[in-house]
Structure 1
Amino acid sequence: MQPNVHTNSSTAVKSRSNWKVWWQLTRPHTLTASFVPVLLGTALALHITEINLILFSAMLVASILIQTATNMFNEYYDFKRGLDNEKSVGIGGAIVREGIKPKTVLRLAFSLFGVALLIGLYICINTSWWLAVIGIVSMAAGYFYTGGPIPIAYTPFGEIVAGFFMGVLIILISFYIQTGTITTTSVLVSIPISILVGAILLSNNIRDLDGDKENGRKTLAILLGRQNAIYLLAGMFTISYLWVFFLISLNYTTPWLAIVILSLPKAIKATKGFIGKTKPITMMPAMKATAQTNTIFGFLLSIGLFLSYYL
């Protein structure tokens, strides 16, 4: 039975009038995971063609809308399955703490998908209709991440799916709509971002390991165990950095990309922040540092590409 979170109508009305509630519902700390790949894909395209700022803006808004809608589906379905309550850490809390009706959250998520679809049509008209198929598959992945009979987030494949769609795919689409092609370099540069997006999901699952296990989830963190999951997280960080220097050594990319090393302290902080911790609230700084690593790493990659073009 779901908890009754709608008995205090005055509280609910007050909550609905507070824009901060809706802002938190988007889980803003996750939105850089959609912004960074678009920026990076566009920065890669700069070396081949002149950037179409309208297409860049359209791709950016569509990606953020899809990410926001996915977060709302997560909020809705985790509540419906009884996984979230007013004490849950790392959620928007609009339903369980603020009294927003679950159906309102669900309708809003589908509405954002609708707007993203319209923007996607504009992108397709100006590029290729094959992107419509890719866009629909991407939205389906966003929905089924926590929706459907077997949510992806409840399986060991959440990190892989998130990394592919929010890392590789967004970067390559952003690159393609500017250049009309896909290159080996664009694919190779997308790999470390894909890994770091997966790391964000892994850090989330490390934090929620005990609660997820109680609710029957089979996440990668649960299958590996907490200690091995932390080792994997450290390995993902390590591979991401080594990958960039590997590409530089083979002359696939500019040496300017070595600037990503400036984000290394965040990766170290994220890894150390999980060691010896078992309570979700104590792991929030480490999870935040993981997300920041992806953000800073991606920004620095983009800056390196811009510097190599203009200098």
Structure 2
Amino acid sequence: MKTNSLSAWILAVRPYSLGNSVILVLIASAMAYMSGGFRPLPALLCLLFALLMQCTANLVNDLWDFMKGADQPDRLGPDRAFAKGYITLRAMKFGIAGFTLAAGITGLGILLTVHDTLPHRGWELVAVGIACLVFAYFYTAGPWPLAYHGLGDIAVILFFGLIPVGFTYYLQTRTWTSEVTLVALSCGLVIDTMLMVNNFRDREEDARCGKRTVVVAFGAGVGRWGYLLLGLVPVVLCLALLGWGHWGAALLPLIYGAAHTATWRKMVRIDHGEELNVCLGETARNILLFGALMTLGILLG
């Protein structure tokens, strides 16, 4: 692959993971639509901001995992562009700065679009934007990276669940409901399955370089059962939506639960090695399935 080529940058931003951001905005916007508050422009800007922030986080992760020794030549997971030498250090730094700047401009656009409709004139969005930037950088970078101290899962649940779903809905409707919190938490747990299967696969490499994920700290058993629960607990949570009369959003995720369980069985059978990348691919597919089912279920009523 040619150094600093478009193909190298596509590899670096990990397009297989970007669907996570898309489904969060779709689900929140579907809920806003059903509540009569859907606003296309804020929804579109939220989607762009989420994608840019995820690309930023992926690039920072690509760079700093290599610098901290987590990405070695014997890496089991998908290729990382910087570790493979496909992107130079100078280009990677410029790329991170460029995506960060683009995300900041998009965030400013969101603020200008909705500030006059929000209770606090949009200042709450400034705090959220800063938190997103801190997460993108300090998930793997800095003197005390979250992913290296067992806090990666909590960060994912917050920044790939509660915050994007909750605030995308809030920006359109100016409210935040119990149903939104439940759905947002469910989304965060489902997306954390991707982190869990990665950490389960990389547990030996992570232990060698001092990356203390939950799986490294508490053992492979936590990875196996944690992965299963991260997928099934949201299915149970969604059943509570029956209490609000949302039968579609309550029942359709059961299909996801079946697909997730099938992937978990395969993960347990394979247990270790590069073959677990099959489970990573299936996990990404299952997350998209959950997003599609939830969006459809919400729109069905």
- CA offsets 1:117-166 (integer angstroms, 9 cap, x no match): 11111111222231111111111111100000111111211111111111
Q: How does 1:1-311 map to 2 (within 5 A)?
A: 14-17=2-5, 19-127=6-114, 128-248=122-242, 251-257=243-249, 258-308=251-301
Shift of 1:66: 0.3
Cα displacement string for residues 261-285 of structure 1 (whole angstroms, at most 9, x for unaligned residues)? 2223320232112214344311111
Distance (Å, rounded) in 1 between the aligned partners of 2:245 and 2:88? 49
> Structure 2: where are the runs of 5+ without partners?
115-121
Is the contact made by 1:43 and 1:305 (CA closer than 8 Å) also made in structure 2? Answer: yes
The CA deviation string for residues 87-109 of structure 1, in whole angstroms up to 9 with x for no partner, is 42334522232432123112211
Deviates more, 1:183-192 or 1:273-282: 273-282
1:214 shift after superposition: 0.7
Contact 1:27/1:91 (<8 A) preserved: no
Structure 2: distance between partners of 1:230 and 1:134: 33
SS where residue 74 of structure 1 aligns?
helix
Structure 1 position 201, deviation (Å):
1.1
Contact 1:185–1:253, Cα closer than 8 Å, also in 2: no
What's the secondary structure of 1:16's corresponding residue?
coil
Matched residue type, 1:167: G
What TM-score comes out, normalization by structure 1 length? Answer: 0.89
In the alignment, the residues of structure 2 paired with residue 158 and residue 242 of structure 1 have an alpha-carbon distance, to the nearest angstrom, of 23
Cα RMSD, aligned residues only: 1.7
Q: What CA distance in whole angstroms lies between the structure 2 residues aligned with 1:252 and 1:111? A: 43
What percent of counterpart residues are identical? 23
In 2, Cα distance between equivalents of 1:116 and 1:92 = 25
CA contact (8 A) 1:269 1:289 kept: no
Q: Which runs of 5+ in 1 are unaligned?
A: 1-10
1:115 shift after superposition: 0.7
Contact 2:8 2:87 in 1 (8 A): no
Instruction: Indicate the SS of the match to 1:90.
Output: coil
CA contact (8 A) 1:56 1:174 kept: yes
SS in 2 for 1:15: coil
Please report how far the alpha carbon of residue 72 of structure 1 lies from its aligned counterpart in structure 2 after TM superposition. 0.3
Residue aligned with 2:111, SS: helix
The whole-number CA distance in structure 2 between the counterparts of 1:49 and 1:215 is: 51
Q: Compute the displacement of 1:33 (Å).
A: 1.5
Give the aligned residue type for 1:271. Answer: W
Could you say what secondary structure the match of 1:82 adopts?
coil
1:75-96 residue CA offsets vs partner (Å, 9 max, x unmatched): 0001112222344233452223
Q: Distance in 1 between matches of 2:56 and 2:168?
A: 20
CA distance in 2, matches of 1:148, 1:93: 20
In 1, Cα distance between equivalents of 2:238 and 2:52:
29
Matches of 1:106 and 1:79, distance apart in 2: 14
